[in-house]
Amino acid sequence: MNTQDLLNQIAFIKEIDKVKYIQRKTKLFNSDRNENDAEHSWHLALMAIVLAEHSDAPIDILKVVKMVLIHDIVEIDSGDVFMYDTLKNHLNSDEERIAANRIFGLLPQKQAEEFIAVWEEFEAGETNEAKFAKSMDRLEPLLQNTSNNGGTWKEFDVKYEKVYEKKSVIKNGSATLWNYAEGLINESIEKGILKK
């Protein structure tokens, strides 16, 4: 064992504690308390494990879990970008890539490279695992907003078309979950908690 490797791993473990302070716009279920990125990532990991059978394509579930556990770590440096932010693009930015290199770079080199690759794969959203991970990332706030009488849709005046467009990413991972999600969106229109 290389002692320096362990010390580097411990440095990374300490650094990512900051993820617990990053507030998301979405609130917990039936709540007005904001969710933070660590809670969000924990929830997505369990959602992925519980819902894995609904993936349209075969997936390596450990890879999906790694993706969702680390996907927001870059926000330690770059901050949370709201899904419906019209000024800041939610696409993988240079700022996020610099953050990934700094934070995952705390790890021993081989491990750093692996984590950066997993994060890049998630961001690209092209593999089966990334598609399913992104389905989880879109499904959780949908469940939260419907439990919160419209939640961030109401708070930030986000309309049906935008929600439908963003949520349709779920379709790339799972027809079953998209069918369920589409039902929730339509129900939200009927209830008046989402506007056309």
Q: Which residues bind a copy of itself (CB under 8 A)?
A: 1, 6, 9-10, 12-14, 16-17, 19-21, 28-29, 35-36, 38-39, 41-43, 45-47, 49-51, 54, 61-62, 65-66, 69-70, 107, 111, 143, 147, 176-177, 180
Shortest Cβ distance from residue 166 to a copy of itself (Å)? 20
Using the minimum distance from each CB to a copy of itself, give the nearer residue, 45 or 100.
45
Using the minimum distance from each CB to a copy of itself, give the nearer residue, 29 or 93.
29
Shortest Cβ distance from residue 42 to a copy of itself (Å)? 4
And the tokens for 7? 């010390």
Contacts of 175 (CB under 8 A, 6+ apart): 56
Shortest Cβ distance from residue 154 to a copy of itself (Å)? 20
Shortest Cβ distance from residue 62 to a copy of itself (Å)? 5
Shortest Cβ distance from residue 29 to a copy of itself (Å)? 4
Using the minimum distance from each CB to a copy of itself, give the nearer residue, 85 or 113.
113
Using the minimum distance from each CB to a copy of itself, give the nearer residue, 7 or 98.
7
Shortest Cβ distance from residue 115 to a copy of itself (Å)? 9
Using the minimum distance from each CB to a copy of itself, give the nearer residue, 1 or 87.
1
Using the minimum distance from each CB to a copy of itself, give the nearer residue, 169 or 184.
184
And the tokens for 129? 């695992």
Report yes or no: 142 and 184 within 8 Å, Cβ to Cβ: yes
Which string of DSSP letters, residue by residue, matches the chain? --HHHHHHHHHHHHHGGGGGG-EEEEEPTTSSSEEEHHHHHHHHHHHHHHHGGG-SS---HHHHHHHHHHTTTTHHHH-PPPTT-SSS--S--HHHHHHHHHHHTTS-HHHHHHHHHHHHHHHHT-SHHHHHHHHHHHHHHHHHHHHTTTHHHHHTT--HHHHHHHHTTHHHH-HHHHHHHHHHHHHHHHHTSS--
